[in-house]
Structure 1
Amino acid sequence: MGTLMAFLVGGLYAAAIYMIMRRSIVKLVIGLVLLSNAANLLIFTSAGMTREAPPLIPLGALQPDGVVADPLAQALILTAIVIGFGVLAFAVVLIHRAYEVVKADDMDQMKDTDT
């Protein structure tokens, strides 16, 4: 399973870099979304993919009973998903406003309006 996830993360990184290098600003944002998803999967995979018990401590106990999943990776990925959604929402609004002003989504045409 680890080898499959390594190829999946590598493929997502490759697709994200390809999309980021395109001229269209919409493809740039899609590439950023793929990049954030690839980073989330990398963190999830490096923490270990096991089907263990949730990291909950019973009442009155000082530590969990038995083997539990790593809560740190789950918290990091959840935080990254929320931040990524906020960045995506900001980028969509920014692209919409830029398209209203420039009437194009090509990065070269947007650079020509700076003069």
Structure 2
Amino acid sequence: YQHIKFFINLIENYYPELLGQVIILNAPWIFYGCWTIISKWLDPTLRDEIRFVKNEVELAQHIDPSALPRRLNGAQPDFEYIGPTADDDAMIATIRADAQGKAKA
């Protein structure tokens, strides 16, 4: 509860123009009950920027399909997550060690 209120306060007071539009696709049914409560905490301007869509056809009314991935009936390739390599892990370990003052010059 307090984390949600903090996040809402942060967005409304420090980044009011940053949020253009939020589109929530295929929200689970339980979310609608939560939304009923959360939406009352929002500034009306922010609340009006949040849209719920039930399928890809409705999504295409808000986002040009040429910008959507294929799995959402768009033209762009689907995103494929590629995990960090061993070199990436080594670099991250070096950065963390240096941030903790453990790196040797």
Q: Shorter-chain TM-score: what band?
A: under 0.3
TM-score, scaled to structure 2: 0.25
Asked which structure has the greater RCO (Cα within 8 Å, sep 6+), the reply is: 1
**Structure with the higher helix share, 1 or 2:** 1
Higher fraction of strand: 2
